[in-house]
Amino acid sequence: MIGIDWGTTTLRAYRLAADGTILTRRETPRGILSIEPGGFPDALRAVVGDWIAAGVDRVMVCGMAGSRHGWQEAPYLPCPADLAGLAAATVTVPFPDARVRIVPGLSWRDPHGVPDVMRGEETQILGAALGTEAATVCLPGSHSKWASLAGGAVTRFTTHLSGEAFAALSQHTILARMVDAHAPYDAVGFARGVARAKQGGGLLHHLFGLRAAALFDEVGEDEGTSFLSGLLIGHEVAAALEAGVAPPVILIGAERLTSRYAAALDAFGIPHTMAEPDAAARGLHLLAARLD
């Protein structure tokens, strides 16, 4: 089969053996933002047409290709949702020579009725947590996700705007004087930021405190950027823990980010593990196995 993780800016394609082993990986910048309306079939063929011509006729697609602005909308499936539910909710799209299905995203409403959404992460979560009865899965990023798994189903999740907030606050507030988004990681500054997040006073106050500490030369030039990163990730972790987390926390994503979350979780005394790479490919394979 072919697995496609079709995001906003990137398309990742996997050719998978019957047992789920990854035979070939391809990655292109043909995210959905670069595709004209109606252009999805041709874009798919351009990336994996040779695999289809070679006889692979099952294609499973997850990610933003199923959004309102993607190939075809696959409406959000409400939590709790497990592999069987997700597989049953996949949407078939017309495509010659192959059976192409799009995996829906998930939605959840908190006890106050406020909605949350994910699209693509559900497949990574189920792929990463295979065989785990209960777990918490964290996917750091611009919009970080924390999902709870129980009995093989995603039961609830929350999204945090941490990555985007870091970019906006570091470049477009007074903090820009002491923060350089391209500065190298500083473990001491990061730890100080996480430690600050564990104290009272609120994030908005802690943000100004970084400015004031710099005025008194109490945050080094090399520390400011990682301090802000630690402060935001620390607030995110604290909020996730407050909402309830079943350890261990499984971290999914690029090492550059997951290593920071690992350091923050250590500071909170929460055990964690790193997911194997290519969780999306494993999730797509598990979903395909539920289809005829």
Nearest to 106 by CA among 161, 164, 156, 160: 156
Q: Is 56 exposed, middle or buried (0-12, 13-18, 19+ CB in 10 A)?
A: middle
Q: CA torsion sign, 161 to 166 to 171 to 176? A: positive
Kindly state the smallest distance separating residue 131's Cβ from a copy of itself, in Å.
Answer: 29
Helix (H) or strand (E) holding 40: helix 40-53
Choices 34-42, 53-61, 183-191, 206-214 (CB under 8 A): range interacting with a copy of itself: 206-214
Question: Residue 75 interacts with a copy of itself (CB under 8 A)?
Answer: no
Choices 21-29, 39-47, 91-99, 210-218 (CB under 8 A): range interacting with a copy of itself: 210-218
Buried b (16+ CB within 10 A) or exposed e, 131-148: eeeebbbbbbbebbbbbb
Question: Residue 239 interacts with a copy of itself (CB under 8 A)?
Answer: yes
Per DSSP, which regions of 205-268 are E strands? 249-251
d(CA 287, CA 123): 8
d(CA 33, CA 104): 18
Question: Residue 200 interacts with a copy of itself (CB under 8 A)?
Answer: yes
Residues 44-73 binding a copy of itself (CB under 8 A) are: none
Choices 9-17, 124-132, 152-160, 264-272 (CB under 8 A): range interacting with a copy of itself: 152-160
Question: Residue 182 interacts with a copy of itself (CB under 8 A)?
Answer: no
Our CB check for a copy of itself shows the closer of 60 and 64 to be: 64
Kindly state the smallest distance separating residue 100's Cβ from a copy of itself, in Å.
Answer: 25
Interface residue with a copy of itself among 29, 96, 172, 184 (CB under 8 A) is: 172
Binding site for a copy of itself (CB under 8 A): 110, 112, 114-117, 143, 158-162, 164-165, 167-169, 171-175, 196, 199-205, 207-209, 211-213, 215-216, 218, 232, 235-236, 238-239, 242-243
